[in-house]
Amino acid sequence: MKPILYSYWHSSCSWRVRTALHWKNIPYETRAVNLLKPESGQHSAEYLAINPTAHVPTLFIDGKNIIESIAILHYLEETRPLPALLPQDAYERAKVREIVEIIASGIQPLPNRKVQKRVEHDKRLEWVQHWVNSGFRALEEKLYTTAGKYCVGDEVSMADCCLLPQVFNARNSQVDMRQYPIISRIVSELEMIPAFIAAHPHNQPDCPTELSGK
């Protein structure tokens, strides 16, 4: 039985996990959770029984549901270690996890849809841009000390799985990415990798057809 990924095409946290599944060549089925229709989507009784946070993604794998994207990435790494998404050396692993956390705890939670709803309507774009720029400024500095071809050296890692989706969102919010040359250079590498392309929002079964171009 294939793993089942509860996912929303536009969700950056879902994209992180989709990338890891493709990177590790793990076939899976997508079960779409429509975040724009919470009653039948993330707040349905059926989904809340699986994931009490009402967030996506959830991965059903090895007979169990696992929630929270970074927890899922680590589970995949520990049960299906190759191809790897973490280096072997403890300090190199720390570098990957530092970047993961800068994105997953320092950036993603603040501009997201759920939080925007509690900010005055005409201040939402400014809110999003403020937090993304403040996070990306720190991230750009950090990457100056860690990056090679990718976020940490020349091997793809969990950090890259987190970076591309965040930049996709930033572009959608008209963040001027010319301020971040290292981030931009890494992203242009990632956008050529098959696992990242397969995991792209526009290539998901629940993406609206006018965007998916199918």
Q: Which of 33-41, 53-61, 179-187, 204-212 is the region at the interface with a copy of itself (rule: CB under 8 A)?
A: 53-61
- Residue whose structure tokens are 């501009």: 111
172 scored as a contact of a copy of itself (CB under 8 A): no
| Side chain identity at residue 102, one-letter code | I
62 scored as a contact of a copy of itself (CB under 8 A): yes
Q: What string of DSSP letters covers 107-169? A: TTTTTSHHHHTTS-GGGHHHHHHHHHHHHHHHHHHHHHHHBSSSSSBTS--HHHHHHHHHHHH
List the one residue from 4, 50, 67, 84 that touches a copy of itself (CB under 8 A): 67
Is 169 in contact with 12 (CB distance < 8 Å)?
yes
174 scored as a contact of a copy of itself (CB under 8 A): no
Is 191 in contact with 58 (CB distance < 8 Å)?
no
50 scored as a contact of a copy of itself (CB under 8 A): no
Residues 125-144 that bind a copy of itself (CB under 8 A): 127, 130, 137-138, 141-142
Is 152 in contact with 189 (CB distance < 8 Å)?
no
Query: Which residues make up the interface to a copy of itself (CB under 8 A)?
Result: 52-55, 62, 64, 66-72, 74-75, 78-79, 90-91, 93-94, 97-98, 100-102, 104-106, 108-110, 115, 118, 127, 130, 137-138, 141-142
